Amino acid sequence: MSETETPKPGAGLKKLHLKTYGCQMNVYDSERMAEAMGAEGYVLTDTAEGADMVLLNTCHIREKASEKLYSDLGRLKPLKLANPGLKIGVAGCVAQAEGAEIQRRMPIVDIVVGSQAYHRLPAMVRAADAGQASLDTEFPAEDKFEHLPARPLQSRPAAFLTVQEGCDKFCAFCVVPYTRGSEVSRPAARILAEARGLIARGAREITLLGQNVNAYHGVEDGADWGLARLVRALAMIDGLERIRYTTSHPNDMTADLIALHRDEPKLMPYLHLPVQSGSDRILKAMNRRHTADDYLRTIERIRAARPDILVSGDFIVGFPGETDADFEATLALIEAVNYGMAYSFRYSPRPGTPAADRPPVDAAVADARLQVLQALITRQQRAAQEAMVGREVGVLIERPGKLAGQWVGKSDYLHAVHLHDENLAPGQLRRARITEAWTNSLAGVCLG
């Protein structure tokens, strides 16, 4: 470079394309990995073309989710052949579950980093720069959260914060206890400090994340803090307006957490409480350790504390051994709960899980059941959305919408709400009246 030339902005920075699959915890992990790579001089780019590194943060929960990795790697192959300097990394739950098998199947992969080892990513990238393929799928003794750089200068208005990771429940269909390891709760003081940092950088809502977030039990000053105590402490932070938590297990909905939905205005009236099936026989075969009636009574107690709470759920259809009568019991449970929304999946056998070897339900039968269940849930969801018309809600503005002057935010109940108003900006918490409803979103007008 001659002395008169000035460096271009961003010169010397390397480009990282980061793609995230799966759950909110992967979204949080991707943000942390982007921060760790930022400290190494990497900036994010939207496309794999032109990137110096592509990192795929993967999900192993169902076969379709994990196969996406291999189709994406197939698409990356020509890029890697054209530019051998391009580094390709695989992170997350497929990395954890399949480890070296990924590099065997796809030799273009330079780095495999499991979900518990991503604080070691920068060192692995340096090793890859030196021409070494790199694999780390350990569950290290050190705390990855404490080995990551500080959070970035700006936070999204609605931020995620992992408070608990892993699962000891071992539902017979689920890979999470294997990909995320056993349940670990972060110390409350660290969580409170990270929350304060997020708020100082613009967050107004925090969603506490954990595979079993309501099993949170952090030790603080020798005392055992449950999730309710953590939420109460977070609620005292000025500038934090909204608190949510996900995902909860029905068996860990404690009385004090339920009471908090009545007593703590910052705790939002939304609860994701998966049940998977309405048949006691299937719940037992799934190793869920609760009955359909236990679940219904828990929902009743929650609604007694907070009558307007929006309840969502997860369902698996076609679990091995599911009969028509079992499926009818699931439909009956859905009728009894009346969900604001729910996710539903056809059972997918996962290698290494106890249910994987059991005789499957006929695929066509499972598909037909899934359609019936989804139609019922869509009816409930649409009715719940329509019941919002005319109601006043808080909306946290998150981003501009597709139309000029339009903004998108989330209601207290986590509905997507579209508002038209010139004066809105991300991070504003506004009151709005809902004027229109669709199955997946609402429209409203700002009040005052």
**Positions in the binding site for ligand SAH (CB under 6 A):** 61-62, 173-174, 176, 211-212, 247, 249, 274, 276, 314, 316, 345, 347-348, 350
Q: Which does 267 bind (CB under 5 to 8 A by kind): ligand SF4, ligand F3S, ligand SAH, none?
A: none
Integer angstrom CA distances of residue 176 from 96, 141, 180: 10, 19, 5
Residue nearest to ligand SAH (CB): 314
Q: Which does 270 bind (CB under 5 to 8 A by kind): ligand F3S, ligand SF4, ligand SAH, none?
A: none
Integer angstrom CA distances of residue 108 from 13, 46, 68, 129: 23, 21, 16, 14
Q: How many CB atoms lie within 10 A of CB 238?
A: 7
185 binds ligand SF4 (CB under 6 A): no
59 binds ligand F3S (CB under 6 A): yes
Choosing from 95, 174, 234, 273, the residue that interacts with ligand SF4 (CB under 6 A) is 174
Q: Which does 158 bind (CB under 5 to 8 A by kind): ligand SAH, ligand F3S, ligand SF4, none?
A: none
Q: Which is nearer to ligand SAH, 290 or 391 (CB)?
A: 290
Q: Copy the structure tokens of residue 319.
A: 């679990």
How far apart are alpha carbons 203 and 102 in whole angstroms? 37
Of 247-286, binders to ligand SF4 (CB under 6 A) are 249
Q: Are 337 and 299 within 8 A, CB to CB?
A: yes
Choosing from 37, 61, 112, 329, the residue that interacts with ligand F3S (CB under 6 A) is 61
Choosing from 55, 73, 171, 414, the residue that interacts with ligand SF4 (CB under 6 A) is 171
292 binds ligand SF4 (CB under 6 A): no
Helix (H, G, I), strand (E, B) or coil at 301: helix
CA dihedral (254, 260, 266, 267) positive or negative = positive
169 binds ligand SF4 (CB under 6 A): yes
Q: How far is the CB of 11 from ligand SAH (least distance, A)?
A: 43
Q: Copy the structure tokens of residue 367.
A: 């598909």
Of 128-167, binders to ligand SF4 (CB under 6 A) are 167
Q: How many CB atoms lie within 10 A of CB 125?
A: 25
Q: Which is nearer to ligand SAH, 225 or 347 (CB)?
A: 347
How far apart are alpha carbons 258 and 303 in whole angstroms? 9
177 binds ligand SF4 (CB under 6 A): yes
Amino acid at 160: F
Rounded to the nearest 10 degrees, what angle do helices 292-305 and 324-337 cross at?
10
Q: Are 384 and 341 within 8 A, CB to CB?
A: yes
Q: Which is nearer to ligand F3S, 48 or 59 (CB)?
A: 59
**Nearest alpha-carbon partner for 173 in 382, 346, 31:** 346
115 binds ligand SF4 (CB under 6 A): no
| Residues found near ligand F3S in the complex (CB under 6 A) | 22-23, 25-26, 59-61, 92-93, 175-176, 179-180
